[in-house]
Amino acid sequence: MSAGIDLALALVEEDFGREMARETAKLMVVYHRRAGGQSQHSTLLDLDATSDRVQSVLTYAKQNLSKRLLMEELAAVAFLSPRQFSRLFKDETGQPPAKAIERLRVEAARLMMEEGRLSAEQIAHKNGFGNRDRMRRSFIRAFGQPPQAIQRNISALST
């Protein structure tokens, strides 16, 4: 199904341009283009919680990726103790909060790379990694390759 969506978006891009394809992808709540070696699903769509508490934490985290997000702060957003929050979050999303936050940051950084307006250092800071090296390690964990490889794939696809 994802491959079909990718094909449809590629056809939209070919006929109407990159910006229209990007807007179409946003309306469909999918990504405009995934470079090779990347996961064929969206972290942002994967992390859908059933409770309002966890959903509010995910919303808060997405809006504050540039900040240092501490467990106590996230638990407070959910009106739970850190221990209760950690258990509930893992039950609903299938992963610990720290792992989920890292995945959100990596995906947000990848989208910024696709736009091509900022340097890797700027992207790292805007997404809460602190520096390029931390972002690089997170990309390798998430995608099996460093951000530079993903940037090259994106550049090759857009030419």
Q: For 40-64, write each residue's pLDDT tens digit.
A: 445 554 566 778 899 999 999 999 9
Same domain for 6 and 55, yes or no, is no
Same domain for 158 and 105, yes or no, is yes
Question: pTM higher than 0.75 for the full model?
Answer: no
Query: Position of tokens 């407070």?
Result: 76
Q: Domain limits at 153?
A: 42-159
Number of domains in the chain: 2
Same domain for 18 and 78, yes or no, is no
Which residue did the predictor score with more confidence, 45 or 68? Answer: 68
Q: Once rounded to an integer, what is the mean pLDDT over residues 130-139?
A: 94
DSSP 56: H
Same domain for 20 and 81, yes or no, is no
Enter the tokens of residue 142.
């998430």
Q: List pLDDT tens digits, range 87-126.
A: 999 999 989 999 999 999 999 998 888 888 888 899 999 9
How high is the pLDDT of residue 156?
65
Enter the tokens of residue 45.
């769509």
Same domain for 81 and 129, yes or no, is yes
Residue 16 has pLDDT above 70, yes or no: yes
Query: Position of tokens 């696809």?
Result: 157
Same domain for 112 and 93, yes or no, is yes
